[in-house]
Amino acid sequence: MAIFKGAGVAIITPFHEDGRVDYEKFGELIEYQIDGGTDAIIVCGTTGESSTLTHEEHLEVIRYCVERVAGRIPVVGGTGSNCTETAIYLSKEAEKAGVDGILVVTPYYNKATQKGLYEHFKAIAESVSVPMILYNIAGRTGINILPETIVKLCRDVKNIVGVKEASGNISQVAKIMSLADGCVDLYSGNDDQIVPLLSLGGLGVISVLSNVAPRQTHDICAKFFEGDLAGSLKIQLDAIPLIDALFSEVNPIPVKKAIALQGRAGGRLRMPLTEMETEHAEKLKRAMEEFGV
């Protein structure tokens, strides 16, 4: 059974001005997502600035999220690392915290072979009992998980259940699903490709857009599954200018600015990420107004 179906938010981690995690604002953001119909929360992913959290902060943010959500929707913890042993440690601790699943990114910088990727993901999955979603995003990691490797992992390792596909390559996604014969739970990792991936058999999206538009992102998926393809497609296409603005600078710079513009949390980032450029911020504000968020 899939961890979730629909729109999962890749939630930001809000910080105080002094850099500490702002748990009060984080709690408010979690409630906003649940109230907005979000189907799952993915915590400590790229959008959550996991790369600049200490291990202690990383695990405390996951624990807080699980406790605050209190079983109302699934919580998936981002526990990937370019060090297999570190990923195993984070995954085990996230399981202890009560996550419903883990999201594990391709190991970055090392540039492992496909055999190395297979052994890396297999070792992490076998260290826990909760289901695991692979995260394929070569643009950040420098390595693409080939369709054959994804399918082999999902077939060989019982708790590797699917992939967040952010390659942007629709042909690759089609090949995954052609080879999979139903063994891969597919989630879009790109907000501008939700409907295309759903049409290839996807179960939903792990979304940046949902941080500022949870109801609309949920509805893209819900309408598609209800058979209202025209309604789903309309929201997807209407959202494109906002999605473009949310990626006009590296994620999560724009989405933290967007949340600040909504008055939901401060947009402070941890270095080396910096404040959004003024011209991009103005474009983002206009796109939010046009989309009604």
Q: Catalytic residue positions?
A: 135, 164
What's at 179, amino acid-wise? L
Contact yes or no for 190/169 (Cβ under 8 A)? no
Phi/psi at 105 (nearest 5 deg)?
Answer: -75, 155
Q: How many Cβ atoms from other residues are within 10 Å of residue 289's Cβ?
A: 11
Provide the token pair at 235. Answer: 């929201």
Contact in structure between 162 and 200 (CB atoms under 8 Å): no
- Under DSSP, is residue 32 helix (H, G, I), strand (E, B) or coil? helix
Write the DSSP string, 36-58: TT-SEEEESSTTTTGGGS-HHHH
Are 105 and 37 in contact, with CB atoms under 8 Å apart?
no
Q: Contact at 8 Å (CB) between 66 and 284?
A: no
